[in-house]
Structure 1
Amino acid sequence: MARYFLTCWCVLTCSLQVFGQTPSYFLIGQTFHLKPIMSEQPDKILWKHNGKKLVEFNGKEEHVYGQHQHRATLDWITAELNITHVRYEDTGVYELDASNSNMVYQFFYRLQVIGKVSKPTITCTVRKGDSDESGPEATLTCSAESTRSESLVKYEWQSGGNVVPGQKLTIPLGDEHDNQIHTCRVNNPLSNEVETFTARSCYSDGGLSVGLVVGIVVVVLIILSVVLGILFCKRARKGCFAKTSKGDVEKQTPRGKEQDKKKKIFHEENLKLLTVGDSGGKKPKWPPSPLGQFYSPDLPNVTSGEKSHTEEGHVKRRVSEIEKQSTGDFSLVSTPA
């Protein structure tokens, strides 16, 4: 009877101690080892997890129960327990009852399986400074993917040589502050991750700086002006960008119209000269030369045959001169001797 009460007292005391102690942490997927310290080799061994049988050795054979099958191994001499590929479900209290003919052993372990923290992300919220403040400010928020062990995750900032706990950090913006780098560290008992953030990145997250806005507006206005200019040019003058010949340009001006009129007159005179043979023997009146002189078909010391030939030459020469004048070439023509 006394031994029974002693055992009950031991179990109660150990239970109070185990729930008050800090748990041992293991990363998910790893292997943990529970090794009790005993002075004698036990004959019987029983491990429990949260009050349920995990593995039992009765001195002859071993039995593994539940979710721990194929993952739990037991050392029959030392009563050491090994569990591979631990899961979140393996978190809890592990209890060992071992005995031999002389001793009874009892041990309690509190274990917690946790995951690695993920890479944090940093977001920025810009808020304009009040009139009594030196300038605009921003709030940085550091966050990591949530896990089952969220309560164990801690956040802290390193900024300007200071360590600030928590997920949020208020920073100043503008001038030299925009180049300052702020570091967020996320950790749990077995892992940690860091991420850095430059203050000027707040402008791309929370808004645009004044200089950038002005630059964008100027570029947009320039592009709009070019487009409107092209459209206006095409509407007002259809051939704005087309190549225009010299003749087309002259036709569009008063000088061009005058040239057309002169060409018509010279052409008529040319026809009269070409029909000199059909004039009934009458000598045609020669138009004046550019020097105010007149060409005469009567040349001294010329026979009738030579005279006819000479007249024909004069006609051809005059036609050539008229053509030159009709094309705008008003160069002086020497009077034949």
Structure 2
Amino acid sequence: MEHEGRSLVLYFLFIFSVGYVYSENIATGTTYTFRPTIQGKIETFDWRHNGNLVVEWDPDNGAHWYRYRERAHLNTDTADLTLQVKKEDSGVFKGQFQVKGVLQYFERTITVIDPVPEPKVACKQNDTGITLLCSVDPSVQAAFTWTGPNEFSHVGESVHIPRKSDDAVYFCTAKNLVSEKTTEFTLKMCPEGEANDDGGNGGAIAGGIIGILLLVAIAVAAYYFGIKKKVCMSAASPDGRGQRKSMSTS
């Protein structure tokens, strides 16, 4: 019984010295502060990222940075580490702090995620209605939801809207673990029978180029046959025959 009680005390002492450990999702570019909330006056401390030294401090030598100096700030009174995070900062940050000769610890796991950009909406309509497609940059993970009139709601990138009112407005929301953005789209903005994105203009552009080339070919052919006809008419004239005869006589 005494042994069990001693083990329980040691367990709580360990939890107290390490501190509360948890993970957090953070948007790329966010200025984030690691706050160890150490009890007592801190004598020395250091911070590590995935086992690599970031900075160490003692009152005699001050702070010595090993990485992130250009985008980090250190509070030497509280040992708070503030960092403008990048994608490569995902991982485990650990702090080690000495108070009255005893070490205390702090650990935080972060996952840095790109925030979602403004979603883009493309559309295509036919006899039965309009299909809306919502998208963001493929490098960004996001989930899509649609909302609209009469409490309309739909989950997914695309949605088919039966033809009812061209003035109806629908909203696409792209969301991930750190942010969300919404774009609105009015059905009357969708061109008749084709998509409203750049890909829908490819056929028209190709047709225009072919038409221009055809006109150029017709103009060249007309010019060529016009010159040939003029030469033939000149050769058949009376003056032309007299000149050739005079030259042969001489």
Correspondence for 2:183? 195
**Distance in 2 separating the partners of 1:198 and 1:121:** 13
Correspondence for 1:87? 86
Shift in CA distance, 200/24, structure 1 to aligned 2, threshold 3 Å: closer
Unaligned runs of at least 5 residues, structure 1: 1-5, 129-135, 208-337
Shift in CA distance, 181/33, structure 1 to aligned 2, threshold 3 Å: same
User: 4+ runs of 1 displaced by more than 4 Å?
Assistant: none
Correspondence for 1:242? none
2:166 is the alignment partner of 1:183: no
Unaligned runs of at least 5 residues, structure 2: 1-9, 196-250
> Percent of pairs identical after alignment?
24
Deviation at 1:164, TM superposition (A): 1.9
Deviations 1:246-275 (A, max 9, x none): xxxxxxxxxxxxxxxxxxxxxxxxxxxxxx
The residue type equivalent to 2:174 in the other structure is: V
Deviation at 1:127, TM superposition (A): 5.3
TM-score by length of 1: 0.47
Pick aligned residue for 2:143 from 137, 154, 157: 154
Deviation at 1:190, TM superposition (A): 4.5
Correspondence for 2:66? 65
> Do 1:157 and 1:164's aligned partners in 2 also have CA atoms closer than 8 Å?
yes
Equivalenced residues, count: 183
Higher relative contact order (CA 8 A, sep 6+): 2
Deviations 1:117-138 (A, max 9, x none): 222111123455xxxxxxx133
Shift in CA distance, 186/58, structure 1 to aligned 2, threshold 3 Å: same
Correspondence for 1:23? 24
Deviation at 1:110, TM superposition (A): 2.0
TM-score by length of 2: 0.61
Deviations 1:106-164 (A, max 9, x none): 11112233344222111123455xxxxxxx133211001244xx33x332111222232
State the superposition RMSD in angstroms. Answer: 3.2
Deviation at 1:168, TM superposition (A): 1.6
> Do 1:124 and 1:205's aligned partners in 2 also have CA atoms closer than 8 Å?
no
Correspondence for 2:222? none
**Structure showing the higher strand proportion among its residues:** 2
Deviations 1:214-244 (A, max 9, x none): xxxxxxxxxxxxxxxxxxxxxxxxxxxxxxx
Pick aligned residue for 2:160 from 170, 174, 193: 170
> Do 2:45 and 2:95's aligned partners in 1 also have CA atoms closer than 8 Å?
yes
Pick aligned residue for 1:206 from 194, 215, 218: 194
**Distance in 2 separating the partners of 1:166 and 1:105:** 47
Deviations 1:287-311 (A, max 9, x none): xxxxxxxxxxxxxxxxxxxxxxxxx
The residue type equivalent to 1:137 in the other structure is: G
Structure of larger gyration radius: 1
